């Protein structure tokens, strides 16, 4: 067990230094590597495989909801980016600019897309003419660039992978329905696939997307009680459509501007998985996106029939649709246990000569460490049940963390006090003024996370200024 | 049928102007659109869906062969690109250069990846230490940029989608085996999935990849008898590994450089599909990658029970795993027939009141126009059989085009004469000298397509200079 111990010791304790623990997990679980350009990370096979699973499951949901995938250019001419005023102000400062093509200086600079609203609008202006062409429900899987000053794996990359949906509708109502529909798909995905509870709400004007009329968000709470914005869905009205001169002939034979949405989630989801579920032994993966759901470790594998019996179990589980890996390498059992714990594999299956005699195997849960001897008869069903239980267990634990650390505050002073002692989400009434939002940031160090869809009446007045309150808001320290 | 006629007339006749026919098909079948940057195209839903199907099927084969997907940054520092001399000479002239990050001028220019050998090598230097770390079998799905002067949809984009495999091996033999294995996977994919026959061979030194020791290629013949390079697989020896100082401790406890391969196919495959199988009514898609395999057109759909009966057939076919679309829009039957012919849907299924009475439907093949009345009993099996027949039929037709237009020539004069009258592939003996290859280009306008793996002995002397021959070579005019 010496090697086992050694590897585990290499991870910083999460209670001692959560940030260092996080970086350690990203490196030791082989999710990510650094490149020679600051802030541009390498998605290693194990990290990328999580993204592939997310992508596969989300893509199914998008397609079932009627969306089609497209791929638009990665470069945006500066003049195109400038067409919508708020949008360019938000994004231009963090664009990477291409100025040379081969040996020729370009007549106009091109930025690498930080997001693609402008490109989609240019395309939509070409292909939308009649009400028959609506709605357009497009989605794109790609990478985008934002020239950030600081960076952290999965949380803040200069280049990151994401999907961006961009849709056009004949009416404002339809576009608003789409905004809500996609936002609900995200919330459901967090719960049902990633085992992460979310707070669903609307962003304040200060926090909304550059150029949007309304931004909806799903907010998650990490293990260290900080907030992570998990995904956003924007309603644009017809602002971009006017700026880009997109029109269609309605059933009334008149020209109209269509109404627009966009929505996206990114590889930040992986940061959420790590920071919600992980522990001091490393990653803990929710079973539905785990690249390896069951790792099979033969015990006393040199003995006759052991490898064959293990392979038979692997074959049965694979045939049942599970993602399974057998490790019959010459590493010690202790090394293997630590390795797959670090990698967050939900279930470990051990099978040795004595088990074979008894027609049983050992299943060890990554989340709780619980060990069970189970019959090989119906092992497929047992594994499925246990993976579902792990999912439920992870969700319940995360839900408890969220509930235990969300509390009402009646004053800015109370927010300051509770934030510094407990962290988490403070909920207060708010008058809706930017001034109060800025004071919260300056004095309590928190940003508004969202105006939750499920409003509670905590009082009649703004916790900051005492004027009449308009909304209940969640505040927190965000990644 | 007026509308039908009208739409068909919009495509140029392929015999009259093949290039214009090709562009018409790309536009009218809604595969592609232009953006405001020259040479940067928009992959529209129908075009992108073909790529998704290709990607899905190829990715399965890569994974079965043990490869893992990764994602590396899209930017390459200029100093990194310069580490391998031949490589930078080949690619630097067509790189797009990023010089500003936000408002700051960068200290070093970054190019957008034209290919990622240098990035993979940098990463491999970090993660390969021992013979236990080998082989590394990585693949990446991404887009790359090459600042081309001219452009055509799918054939030559400044930005295009592709996959690039990059592998590292302990021995030269293993790396060479990998090069051949992947090249054979490509050849098999062209035949079994795209219904396109290929000529398998090695590139001459002049035509090989910048920095490679050997490049293998699959060459296809288009309907206009021009050549398309369908995919390449490169063997690098340990040249890059030395340039990037990648070493591993062997079983002998000594330091060694690993041996490397890379291999890729791109959305050029779609150009191949269009130009091999298409006809004067538009696209003809090989069934295994067609986004819609069967289009269901209800006949007299206003009559009672017709839509329900059509929907029932759609449900049955979908349950059997086919990609099916029903068009019950209010467009005329003639419009619908022309539309799905243009889009190359392999099978059209028509079902009206009389058919329902007789428990039958009509199936019309896109490739041959053949029409058959078939029973609804076992329709799943009938459709599968017919799609397989279409695949075989498309392949046979393409194979005939390839065979009919490949011929032996004994002299440069004969190549000139045959090329100008017939086009296609001329095969000749060749001494191996660059001078003769250049003369072929200058005088006959052809480039060497490959030195086929299956060599034929056409004579003892080079068809160009008369000196002793080393190889038989295929020559042609390439896209």
The Cα B145–Cα B41 span in angstroms is: 12
**Model pLDDT, residue A297:** 98
**Model pLDDT, residue B23:** 97
Contact A101 B102 (CB under 8 A): no
Contact B352, B298 (CB under 8 A): yes
The token duo for B443 is 């005088």
Contact A45 B68 (CB under 8 A): yes
Q: Which residue of A has its CA nearest to B100?
A: A97
The strand pairing partners of A77, in sequence order, are A110
Best to test chain B binding among A62, A70, A105 (most B CBs inside 10 Å):
A70
Contact B147 A101 (CB under 8 A): yes
Report the candidate in A265, A266, A245 with the shortest Cα–Cα distance to residue A256.
A245
- Average of pLDDT values for A27-50? 96
A180-207 confidence digits (pLDDT tens) = 999 999 999 999 999 999 999 999 999 9
Residue B109 CB: number of other CB atoms within 10 A? 18
Closest CA of chain A from B404, distance in Å: 38
The Cα B230–Cα B30 span in angstroms is: 23
Alpha-carbon Rg for chain A, nearest whole angstrom, is 25
pLDDT band at residue B122 under the 50/70/90 scheme:
very high
Q: Which residue of B has its CA nearest to A44?
A: B70
**Model pLDDT, residue A9:** 54
Start-to-end C-alpha separation, chain A: 37
A265-284 confidence digits (pLDDT tens) = 999 999 999 999 999 999 99
CA A90 from centre of chain:
22
Residue A2 has pLDDT above 80, yes or no: no
Q: Which residue of B has its CA nearest to A80?
A: B36
**Model pLDDT, residue A86:** 82
Q: Sheet harboring B68-69: ordered strands across? A: B68-69, B136-145, B159-169, B259-266, B227-237, B214-221, B199-202, B447-452, B471-476, B425-430, B406-408
Contact A70 B112 (CB under 8 A): no
Contact B126, A27 (CB under 8 A): no
Q: Pairing relation of β-strands A371-375 and A360-365? A: antiparallel
Contact B473, B422 (CB under 8 A): no
Nearest to A102 among B51, B93, B138 (CB): B93
**Model pLDDT, residue B91:** 87
The DSSP call for residue A441 is I
**Model pLDDT, residue B210:** 86
Sequence-ordered alpha helix ranges (H) in B128-212: 172-192
A144-169 confidence digits (pLDDT tens) = 999 999 999 999 999 999 999 999 99
A301-320 confidence digits (pLDDT tens) = 999 999 999 999 999 999 99
Compute the count of residue pairs across chains A and B with CB atoms less than 8 Å apart.
142
Q: Which residue of A has its CA nearest to B161?
A: A71
The helix (run of H) or strand (run of E) holding residue A185 is helix A172-192
Contact B123 A33 (CB under 8 A): yes
B330-347 confidence digits (pLDDT tens) = 999 999 999 999 999 999
Closest CA of chain B from A99, distance in Å: 6
Q: Which residues of A touch B102 (CB under 8 A)?
A: 93-96, 147
In which residue are the tokens 């499920």 written? Answer: A454
- Average of pLDDT values for B148-176? 97
**Model pLDDT, residue A4:** 44
B101 Cβ partners below 8 Å, 6+ apart? Answer: A96, A97, A147, A158
The Cα A315–Cα B305 span in angstroms is: 47
Contact A68 B49 (CB under 8 A): yes
Contact A99 B101 (CB under 8 A): no
B76-120 confidence digits (pLDDT tens) = 999 999 998 888 888 888 999 999 999 999 999 999 999 999 999
For B397, half-sphere exposure in the C-beta direction (CA atoms, 13 angstrom radius) is 20
- Average of pLDDT values for B272-293? 98
Closest CA of chain A from B105, distance in Å: 9
ipTM (interface predicted TM): 0.96
Backbone angles phi, psi at B163, to 5 degrees: -120, 145
Best to test chain B binding among A82, A102, A145 (most B CBs inside 10 Å):
A102
Q: Which residues of A touch B97 (CB under 8 A)?
A: 98-101
Residue B372 has pLDDT above 70, yes or no: yes
The Cα B240–Cα B238 span in angstroms is: 6
A60 Cβ partners below 8 Å, 6+ apart? Answer: none
B5 Cβ partners below 8 Å, 6+ apart? Answer: B334, B338
Contact B74, B113 (CB under 8 A): yes
pLDDT band at residue B2 under the 50/70/90 scheme:
very low
- Average of pLDDT values for A354-367? 97
A97-135 confidence digits (pLDDT tens) = 999 999 999 999 999 999 999 999 999 999 999 999 999
Residue B71 has pLDDT above 90, yes or no: yes
Percent of chain B at pLDDT > 90 equals: 95
- Grouping H, G, I as helix, E, B as strand and the rest as coil, residue A422 is coil
Closest CA of chain B from A374, distance in Å: 31
**Model pLDDT, residue B1:** 36
Mean confidence (pLDDT) of chain A: 96
Contact A397, A365 (CB under 8 A): no
Contact B74 A159 (CB under 8 A): yes
Start-to-end C-alpha separation, chain B: 37
**Model pLDDT, residue B6:** 45
Q: Sheet harboring B347-351: ordered strands across? A: B324-326, B294-298, B347-351, B360-365, B371-375
The Cα A364–Cα A65 span in angstroms is: 38
Q: Which residues of A touch B127 (CB under 8 A)?
A: 33
Q: Which residues of A touch B42 (CB under 8 A)?
A: 70-73, 123
Mean confidence (pLDDT) of chain B: 96
Cα distances (angstroms) measured from residue B236 to each of A124, A339, B10, B247, B479: 44, 33, 48, 15, 25
- Average of pLDDT values for A71-77? 97
Closest CA of chain B from A460, distance in Å: 44
Contact A48 B70 (CB under 8 A): yes
The strand pairing partners of B69, in sequence order, are B139
pLDDT band at residue A90 under the 50/70/90 scheme:
confident
**Model pLDDT, residue A287:** 98
The Cα A131–Cα A241 span in angstroms is: 14
- Average of pLDDT values for B140-150? 96
Residue B5 has pLDDT above 50, yes or no: no
Contact B98 A95 (CB under 8 A): no
**Model pLDDT, residue A443:** 96
**Model pLDDT, residue B9:** 54
pLDDT band at residue A442 under the 50/70/90 scheme:
very high
Q: Which residues of A touch B68 (CB under 8 A)?
A: 45, 48-49
**Model pLDDT, residue A6:** 45
Q: Which residues of A touch B60 (CB under 8 A)?
A: none
The Cα B325–Cα B45 span in angstroms is: 14
């Amino acid at each position: 067990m010496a090697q086992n111990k050694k590897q585990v010791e290499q991870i910083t304790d999460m209670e001692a230094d959560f940030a260092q623990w996080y970086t350690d997990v990203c490196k030791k679980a082989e999710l990510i590597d650094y490149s020679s350009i600051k802030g541009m990370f390498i998605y290693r096979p194990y990290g990328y495989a999580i993204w592939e699973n997310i992508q596969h499951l989300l893509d199914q949901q998008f397609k079932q909801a009627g969306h089609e995938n497209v791929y638009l250019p990665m470069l945006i001419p500066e003049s195109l980016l400038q067409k919508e005023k708020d949008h360019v102000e938000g994004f231009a400062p963090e664009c990477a600019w291409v100025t040379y093509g081969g040996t020729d200086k370009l007549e106009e600079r091109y930025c690498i897309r930080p997001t693609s609203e402008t490109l989609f609008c240019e395309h939509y202006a070409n292909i939308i003419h009649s009400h028959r062409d609506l709605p357009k429900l497009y989605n794109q899987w790609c990478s985008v660039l934002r020239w950030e000053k600081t960076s952290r794996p999965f949380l803040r990359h200069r280049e990151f992978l994401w999907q961006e949906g961009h849709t056009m509708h004949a009416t404002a109502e339809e576009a608003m329905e789409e905004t809500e529909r996609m936002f609900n798909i995200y919330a459901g995905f967090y719960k049902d696939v990633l085992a992460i509870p979310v707070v669903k709400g609307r962003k304040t004007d200060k926090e909304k997307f550059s150029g949007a009329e309304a931004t909806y968000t799903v907010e998650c709470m990490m293990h260290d009680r900080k907030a992570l914005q998990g995904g956003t869905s924007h309603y644009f009205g017809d602002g971009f459509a006017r700026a880009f001169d997109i029109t269609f002939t309605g059933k009334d034979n008149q020209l109209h501007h269509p109404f627009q949405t966009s929505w996206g989630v990114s590889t930040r989801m992986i940061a959420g998985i790590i920071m919600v579920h992980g522990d001091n032994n490393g990653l803990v993966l929710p079973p539905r996106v785990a690249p390896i759901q069951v790792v099979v470790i033969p015990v006393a594998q040199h003995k006759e029939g052991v490898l064959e019996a293990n392979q038979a179990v692997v074959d049965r589980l694979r045939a049942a649709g599970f993602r399974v890996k057998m490790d019959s390498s010459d590493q010690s059992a202790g090394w293997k246990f630590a390795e797959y714990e670090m990698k967050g594999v939900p279930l470990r299956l051990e099978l040795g000569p004595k088990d074979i005699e008894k027609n049983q195997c050992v299943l060890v849960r990554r989340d709780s460490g619980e060990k069970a001897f189970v019959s090989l008869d119906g092992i497929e069903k047992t594994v499925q049940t246990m993976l579902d239980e792990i999912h439920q267990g992870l969700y319940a634990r995360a839900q408890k963390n969220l509930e235990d650390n969300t509390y009402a505050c009646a004053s800015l002073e109370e927010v300051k006090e509770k934030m510094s002692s407990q962290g988490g989400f403070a909920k207060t009434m708010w008058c809706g003024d930017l001034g109060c939002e800025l004071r919260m940031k300056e004095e309590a160090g928190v940003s508004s996370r969202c105006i939750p869809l499920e409003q509670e009446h905590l009082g009649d007045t703004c916790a900051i200024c005492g004027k009449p309150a308009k909304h209940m808001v969640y505040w927190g320290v965000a990644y």
